[in-house]
Amino acid sequence: SLRTGAMRRKRSCREQPVPSCLLLTPGMASPMRSLLTDPARYLQAFRLFLTNSTEHQCGHAGFAFILGFMSPASLGEIDLLILSKLQARYPGVTINNEVIEPSADQIFKYKERVAETSNLENVKFTWHEETAYEYESRMNAEKKAKKWDFIHMIQMLYYEKDIPATIRYFHSLLEAQAKLLIILVSETSGWDTLWKKYGSSFPLDDLCSYVSSADLKRILDSAGLKYQLYELPSHMDITSCFIEGNKDGELLLDFLTETCEFSKNAPPELKHQVMEDLRKPECSEKRDGKVLFNNNLSVIVIEP
């Protein structure tokens, strides 16, 4: 199993022969800076996002239906949950699990989870502290082209500079009956609405790109790849964003805009417009006195 990762929310499979999987685990001239430039605050905001959203719960309901053996959860748990499903399907079979993850901290946490988890004797782990592009470059330089039975890229394509090239490369590594799984925000989500309207105003620089299922479908159609798409409904409680001075609300605003201390550093007019749009049906719905941001996800399963 091979997995390539990114900083966001974001990560193994077959014998008959041995199962193998791959996990792929323009701003304004103002004080605004990307949230990714402050890893500690990013992690705070990300954890709050997980607490306030139904993203990990919706995965449990959706993946067993989609692939029969998948059951993802929050960051750091995905691989081990997938591995448990693989072990149940292929009892006693050795599973090769390779992890591609540029964050040393995330690799450390993953290793900690492995050490705390029982019944992993038949799983062989290999960790690569590098990006998907660095992995591809190294494999090409070493003239290696290892094939995989399952590759997944969960919430990581936002951090790839050349998404079509990344998909082409990892698709080329699929075995005959393998699958490439991609999860990212849906074109029906509030994220897509925010990104289309304010993408050029948020300070992402070259650290991240805005991509939704609409963009991915165009890429796959252009490449002539066969795929199936499933929608997973999800929402995030952003009520606290509208409480002046609320620390959790400020962190969620940072996460929504990918901007460090957006509430303090954004130009007043931009902040006003974003706050207004976050209340609108295109982004959120009001239910039981709460403002629930549309966090819908798309699951794309690509054939060899």
Amino acid of residue 192: D
Q: How far apart are CA 247 and CA 279, in angstroms?
A: 19
Amino acid of residue 31: P
Residue 12 token pair: 């193994």
Q: How far apart are CA 217 and CA 15, in angstroms?
A: 32
Is 295 labelled as part of a ligand binding site?
yes
Is 130 labelled as part of a ligand binding site?
no
Half-sphere CA count of 166, side-chain side, radius 13 A = 22
Over its C-alpha atoms, the chain yields an Rg (Å, rounded) of: 19
Residues 252, 240: contact at Cβ < 8 Å?
A: yes
Dump the DSSP string for 10-69. Answer: -----SSS--EEEE-----SSS--BGGG-HHHHHHHHHHHHHHB-HHHHHHHHHHHHHSS
Q: How far apart are CA 38 and CA 3, in angstroms?
A: 25
Q: How far apart are CA 231 and CA 250, in angstroms?
A: 29
CA 87 to chain centre: 24
Amino acid of residue 140: N
Rounded to 10 degrees, what is the CA torsion of 176, 148, 226, 233? 140
Which regions of the chain does DSSP assign to beta strands (E)?
2-4, 20-23, 95-100, 123-128, 148-154, 174-185, 227-232, 235-237, 284-287, 290-294, 297-302
Binding residues for substrate: 55, 295
Binding residues: 55, 295
